[in-house]
């Protein structure tokens, strides 16, 4: 086992861990080890990917508790849902590192950074939940994000297109309203955590955009033209507004991509309400697009 192969092997070990606290802690430590990836290593898929605890119970999306703000329990359910997203995001980043071979070293280092930051987000959320007597696993959760990871596990181009820059990018759109409602309810600690998450998630979506375009270029594909082909092939639901255009621009979406996003929503007869008009000037400061 050469040192260069260690990063992908280690990521594979971590994605199989079932204890969420241990997984988050060890993932946060991983960048400090200074490991490199062996892009050509053939790593067979182990049993139990991704590793998860027995709880939360996985249910259909319609059966997940209402994530409102009216009661402490409703706010706890919301924070739990956010923590579940971040736990899935740890697994997704680790999975990208070990699963996909033959890519530049920068790909693996980018997703190592993402994995570590997602682990921080999960820790911040679960620590805040613990202060209010709630633990990860206390509420049921759904598995939509990982289901798309399963669908795209044989194609890194599809994974980059449909997970970080589609499903995870929804956090850029949804977070402003969630953050505002948490602050209005008096949970300023949670609102501050969402500020941190948005700042980092803009970068994570940008990484997805960067490698999607890299893989499109390598295959001689137009990223804008190829995206709806992938969306149809993998049965991706049409995204609903409001769209956080400033955050999406900062995450690297181009104007043609934003126009296509808006048109797709309109063609599905879903009013694409905006947080900023598509023609507005790009935002360059994470604070101007908070939160996520």
Task: Tell me what pLDDT residue 292 has.
Answer: 31
Q: How far apart are CA 127 and CA 1, in angstroms?
A: 37
Whether the predicted pLDDT of 240 surpasses 90: no
Mean pLDDT of the region 267-277: 55
Answer yes or no: pTM beyond 0.85: yes
- pLDDT at residue number 45: 93
Burial annotation 192-212 (CB, 10 A radius, 16+ → b, else e): bbbbbbbbbbbbbbbbbbbbb
Round to whole Å and give the CA distance between 240 and 143: 19
Q: What is the pLDDT of residues 197-230, one digit of tens each?
A: 999 999 999 999 999 999 999 999 999 999 999 9
Residue 121: how many other CB atoms lie within 10 Å:
25
Residues 102-119 have a mean pLDDT of: 98
Q: What angle do CA 273, 275, 280 make, to 5 degrees?
A: 110
Number of C-beta neighbours around residue 147 at 10 A: 11
Residue 191 in this model has a pLDDT that exceeds 90: yes
User: What integer pLDDT is reported at residue 1 of this predicted model?
Assistant: 41
Lowest mean pLDDT among 83-87, 96-100, 255-259, 276-280: 276-280
Q: Is the pLDDT reported for residue 61 higher than 50?
A: yes
133 vs 137: CA distance, rounded Å = 12
Q: Are 99 and 46 in contact (CB under 8 A)?
A: no
| Total residues belonging to the chain | 292
Buried b (16+ CB within 10 A) or exposed e, 224-246: eebbeebbeebebeebebebbbb
Give the mean model confidence (pLDDT) for residues 91-120. Answer: 98
d(CA 11, CA 115): 9
Please, which residues bridge with residue 274 across strands? Answer: 243
N- to C-terminal Cα separation, the chain: 40
The pLDDT of residue 276: 46
Rounded-to-integer distance, Cα 28 and Cα 115, Å: 8
Collapsing DSSP to helix, strand or coil, 58 comes out as strand
Q: What is the DSSP string of 81-113?
A: HHHHHHHHHHHHHHHHHHH--S--HHHHHHHHH
Q: Name the more confident of 274 and 232.
A: 232
- For residue 46, pLDDT over 70 is answered with yes
* Chain position carrying tokens 């991509």: 257
What whole-number distance in Å separates Cα of residue 164 and Cα of residue 46?
Answer: 23
Q: Write down the mean pLDDT value for the chain.
A: 89
What is the reported pLDDT for 291? Answer: 33
Question: What confidence category does residue 57 fall into, taking pLDDT thresholds of 50, 70 and 90?
Answer: very high
Bigger pLDDT: 165 vs 273: 165
Position 62 confidence tier, pLDDT thresholds 50, 70, 90:
confident
Cis, peptide link before residue 272, omega less than 30° from 0:
no
The answer to whether residues 184 and 69 touch, using CB atoms and an 8 Å cutoff, is yes
> Is the pLDDT reported for residue 131 higher than 70?
yes
Instruction: Quote the pLDDT of residue 4.
Output: 57
Listed in order, strand segments (DSSP E) in 24-162 are none
The ranges assigned to domains in the chain are 3-56+68-289
Average pLDDT over residues 17-24: 98
pLDDT at residue 275 greater than cutoff 70: no
Average pLDDT over every residue of 67-75: 79
Q: Is 20 exposed, middle or buried (0-12, 13-18, 19+ CB in 10 A)?
A: buried
């Amino acid at each position: 086992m050469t040192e260069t192969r260690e990063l992908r092997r280690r990521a594979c070990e971590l994605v199989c861990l079932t204890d969420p606290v241990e997984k988050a802690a060890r993932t946060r430590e991983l960048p400090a080890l200074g490991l490199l990836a062996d892009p050509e290593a053939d790593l067979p898929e182990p049993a139990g990917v991704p590793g998860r605890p027995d709880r939360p119970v996985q249910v259909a999306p319609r059966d997940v508790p209402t994530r409102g703000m009216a009661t402490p329990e409703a706010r706890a359910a919301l924070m739990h849902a956010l923590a579940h997203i971040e736990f899935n995001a740890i697994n997704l980043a680790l999975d990208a590192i070990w699963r996909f071979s033959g890519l530049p070293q920068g790909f693996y280092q980018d997703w190592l950074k993402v994995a570590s930051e997602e682990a921080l987000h999960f820790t911040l959320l679960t620590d805040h939940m613990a202060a209010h007597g709630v633990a990860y696993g206390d509420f049921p959760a759904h598995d939509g994000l990982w289901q798309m990871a399963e669908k795209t596990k044989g194609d890194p181009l599809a994974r980059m297109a449909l997970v970080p820059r589609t499903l995870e990018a929804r956090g850029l759109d949804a977070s402003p309203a969630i953050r505002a409602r948490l602050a209005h309810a008096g949970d300023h600690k949670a609102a501050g955590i969402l500020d941190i998450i948005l700042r980092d998630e803009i970068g994570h979506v940008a990484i997805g955009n960067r490698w999607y375009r890299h893989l499109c270029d390598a295959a001689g594909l137009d990223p804008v033209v190829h995206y709806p082909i992938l969306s149809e092939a993998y049965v991706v639901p049409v995204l609903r507004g409001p769209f956080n255009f400033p955050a999406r621009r900062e995450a690297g979406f181009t104007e043609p991509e934003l126009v296509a996003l808006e048109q797709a929503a309109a063609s599905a007869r879903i009013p694409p309400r905006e947080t900023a008009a598509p023609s507005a000037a790009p935002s360059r400061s994470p604070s101007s697009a908070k939160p996520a």
